[in-house]
Amino acid sequence: MKDIKKIIIISLIVISIGLIAYGIYNFLNKPEYIKVSYSSFIEKVESGEIAEVHLNDEPELKGQLTDGQYFKTDNPRIDNLKEMLLMNSVNVVEVNEQHTLGEIIAFVGLIGGFIVLAIFLSRNNERQASKEYDKMSSIEYSSEKNKQLTFSSVAGNDEAKESLMELVDFLKNPDKYMRYGARMPKGVILYGPPGTGKTLMAKALASEAMVDFMAVSGSDFVQIYAGLGAARIRSLFKKAREKSKCVIFIDEIDAIGKKRDRGGLGGSDESDRTLNALLTEMSGFKGSEGIIVLAATNRLDTLDEALLRPGRFDRQIEVGLPDLKAREEILQLYSEDRPISPALDLGRLAQQTVYFSGAKLESLMNEAAIYAARDNAKSIEDYHVDKAFYKVIAGDEKKNRSQIAKQDRRITAFHEAGHTVATKLLASANKVTKVTIIPSTKGAGGFCMNIPPDKMFHTKLDMINNIKISLAGRVVEEIIFGKDNITTGASNDIQKATETLLMMIKHFGMSEKMGMLNYEMLMGQQAADGNLVKECNHSMEALYNETKELINDNIELVTEIANELLRKETLNEDEIDIIIENVSLRRTH
């Protein structure tokens, strides 16, 4: 505001100078005119007493006599006046407009004044705008130094916690790792369903390492103004460097890091610019600076690959929904400071809260506490939890708390038990590290983690067994629940089985009927050759029937594993081996 005043004053001064100059010029140059009649003017022309005439369209003509005197006379406004004057060797000056030099000066002065004013105003605007831009581009972040928060405040997710704990020492002593030439990760992505404790873990990492925690959200960078998102990224990293050691947490990274469209549709230049700024900043800082960027997303597969490359977010940690044990731990955690009735069985409550996230469990205990307080009850009772339960799953289908997703769980348990048994019987060299009926981002239902041994070549038998392992989930569904009750849960399995079978026939010459031909080369891209489809269908059916036979022979084992899965939700390899041993002992007796 002050600046605007200054500019107005300066402009006024410039304008006044112009006007004064005009006045002075006029005053100094104002000649005295004597009036002569037109007839005496003509006489003077003819007698050669006129030196100069200014021709114009005005009522009066002006000019100068040979003796230097100025004169004026009536303007006859005739066409041949100029010719007549020239014939009498009078100097003729044509003045089309009446502007005198003085007026021109004043005019120039005025224009100049305005130009100066405009320049000043626009400069001022620019300065104002850039000031505002600076203000907006400096990112607001929430910073917390939470001394009490440790990894023990995060229940379950042991693998994820372990991976993060490795980083604590690095954050404390980055120099130590630099001395050994160890390259520590700059970026870690935590991915998994909402409310599973990703933010909580990031905070725990910062507080255990006793460094600053800077939290922002990806949506803060989605801006209407061009370049603002990128500027905010730079400001964020600048502030982080000022702190030297810190954890930057970017929630909802997908808001800036979405896959860039190859077709050019949808993806905006603006979000590209923001993403590029992030990538540049991340490659910019050195590992020795003790800065780690944690990012969270619900979906890893929507992120741009460029983000996941080495030197960026090259560590990806899954944070899944809690299983039975973890749910009990979380419930325990949120009961600690609350008066819980001794009759309230947290173990049973954990069993009844399948598919609940940590956030949902926390909210369950909180709502129960609110109901208890409203009742002025001595402690939180089972029926408070029951009421709270309906509140928390409100919007979901109203289910009895002990019946939640009961059928889903049963189907998933049997399906995964099928994969497990097939793996154990057909591919004993594979490691089944974990079976679970808790959904992950990888599989819709549960999953059976199966690590094949490291080998250079795969035999035909290996590939056939892999197909059977994939089919075993569906096979068990059919045997236990009937042909009409098979589910969509096997779609990934069917895709995998088909892929393997096609590879065997099309690339590896492993089908006697189709011979040793590469069908890709024979048919180009159009693979829908009738014979090929028929052969695939035929082979798949044979493999399905063989798998069915295998499962039927071992249905007792499948059932046992499924029931154990329903009890514990997650089984590791040792637990599976014990069940197998028990069942085979029972059989031989």
Ligand X SMILES: Nc1ncnc2c1ncn2[C@@H]1O[C@H](COP(=O)(O)OP(=O)(O)OP(=O)(O)O)[C@@H](O)[C@H]1O
Q: Is 54 annotated as a binding residue?
A: no
- Which range touches ligand X (CB under 6 A), out of 54-62, 163-171, 189-197, 258-266? 189-197
Separation of alpha carbons 425 and 76, rounded Å: 125
Number of residues in contact with Zn ion under rule CB under 5 A: 2
Q: Of the ranges 163-171, 371-379, 392-400, 471-479, which one interacts with Zn ion (CB under 5 A)?
A: 471-479
Interface with Zn ion, residue 174, by CB under 5 A: no
How many CB atoms sit inside 10 A of residue 555's CB? Answer: 15
Q: Tokens 């769980």: give the residue.
A: 409
Q: Which of 167, 330, 331, 565 binds ligand X (CB under 6 A)?
A: 330
| Nearest distance from C-beta of residue 447 to Zn ion, angstroms | 8
Which DSSP state fits 192? -
Alpha carbon distance 62, 91 (integer Å): 12
Residue 257 binds to Zn ion (criterion: CB under 5 A): no
> Where does 259-345 have alpha helices with state H?
269-284, 305-308, 324-333
Distance from C-alpha of 472 to C-alpha of 80, rounded to nearest angstrom: 116
Q: Taking the CB of residue 64, how many other CB atoms lie within 10 A of it?
A: 18
Structure tokens at 5: 């005043």
Catalytic residue among 328, 329, 416, 478: 416
Measured from the CB atom, the residue of 26 and 199 that comes closer to ligand X is 199
Q: Which one of residues 254, 362, 381, 462 is an interface residue with ligand X (CB under 6 A)?
A: 362
Quote the radius of gyration of the chain (alpha carbons, Å).
44
493 annotated among ligand-binding-site residues: yes
For residues 418 and 216, give the distance between their C-alpha atoms in angstroms, rounded to a whole number: 44
Report, in Å, the least distance between residue 473 CB and Zn ion: 3
Contacts of 375 (CB under 8 A, 6+ apart): 384
| Contact present, 207 and 147 (Cβ < 8 Å) | yes
473 interacts with, out of Zn ion, ligand X, none, CB within 5 to 8 A per kind: Zn ion
Closest contact distance (angstroms) between CB of 491 and Zn ion is: 9
Query: Residues 287-306 vs ligand X: string with x where CB under 6 A?
Result: ---------x-x--------
| Minimum separation from the CB atom of position 445 to ligand X (A) | 21
Stretch of residues binding ligand X (CB under 6 A), selected from 287-295, 356-364, 387-395, 506-514: 356-364
As a dihedral over the C-alpha atoms of residue 7, residue 11, residue 16, residue 17, rounded to 10 degrees, the angle is 100
Identify what 199 binds: ligand X, Zn ion, none; CB under 5 to 8 Å per kind: ligand X
Nearer to Zn ion, 195 or 473 (CB): 473
- Give yes or no for residue 248 binding ligand X (CB under 6 A): no
Among 73, 333, 473, 539, binds Zn ion (CB under 5 A): 473
Q: Which of 7, 15, 55, 154 contacts ligand X by CB under 6 A?
A: 154
Tell me which residue has tokens 């500027």: 231
- What's the residue count for the chain? 589
How far is the C-alpha of 504 from the C-alpha of 458, rounded, in Å? 11
**Cα–Cα distance between 204 and 257 in angstroms, integer?**
24
CB of 201 to ligand X, least distance (A): 7
> Pick from 208, 367, 493, 535: which binds Zn ion (CB under 5 A)?
493
CA distance 426 to 461: 10
Q: Which of 186, 198, 327, 415 binds ligand X (CB under 6 A)?
A: 198
User: What distances in angstroms separate CA 150 from CA 161, 184, 205, 207, 357, one per listed residue?
Assistant: 10, 22, 7, 7, 20
Write the binding mask 390 to 429 for Zn ion: x where contact by CB under 5 A, - elsewhere: ----------------------------------------
DSSP 392-408: HTBTB----TTTTTHHH
Flag whether 193 is marked binding. Answer: yes
Which segment (65-73, 357-365, 379-387, 541-549) binds ligand X by CB under 6 A?
A: 357-365
Stretch that binds ligand X, among 61-69, 139-147, 234-242, 354-362 (CB under 6 A): 354-362
Contact 253, 300 (CB under 8 A): no
DSSP structure class, residue 139:
P
Among 11, 73, 163, 196, binds ligand X (CB under 6 A): 196
- Kindly state the DSSP code that residue 344 receives in the 8-state scheme: -
Instruction: Write down the least CB distance from residue 326 to ligand X, Å.
Output: 7
For CA atoms 124, 127, 128, 129, the dihedral sign is positive
Q: Find the residue with minimal CB distance to ligand X.
A: 358
Q: Could you give the CA distance from residue 65 to residue 87 in angstroms, rounded to a whole number?
A: 17
Stretch that binds Zn ion, among 134-142, 311-319, 490-498, 529-537 (CB under 5 A): 490-498
Residue 289 bears catalytic tag: no
Task: Tell me: does residue 157 bind ligand X (CB under 6 A).
Answer: yes
**Cβ of residue 463: shortest distance to Zn ion, in angstroms?**
18
> For 373-460, where are the E strands, in sequence order?
431-436, 447-451
Contact with ligand X (CB under 6 A): which of 63, 109, 156, 418?
Answer: 156
Q: What residue 196 binds from Zn ion, ligand X, none (CB within 5 to 8 A, per partner kind)?
A: ligand X
Does 251 engage in binding with ligand X (CB under 6 A)? Answer: yes
Measured distance CA(424)–CA(554) in Å, rounded: 11
Tokens of 340: 């819980």
- Residue ranges binding Zn ion (CB under 5 A): 473, 493
Residues assigned a catalytic role: 416
Write out the binding residues for ATP. 192-199
- Residue ranges binding ligand X (CB under 6 A): 154-157, 194-200, 251, 296, 298, 330, 333, 358-359, 362
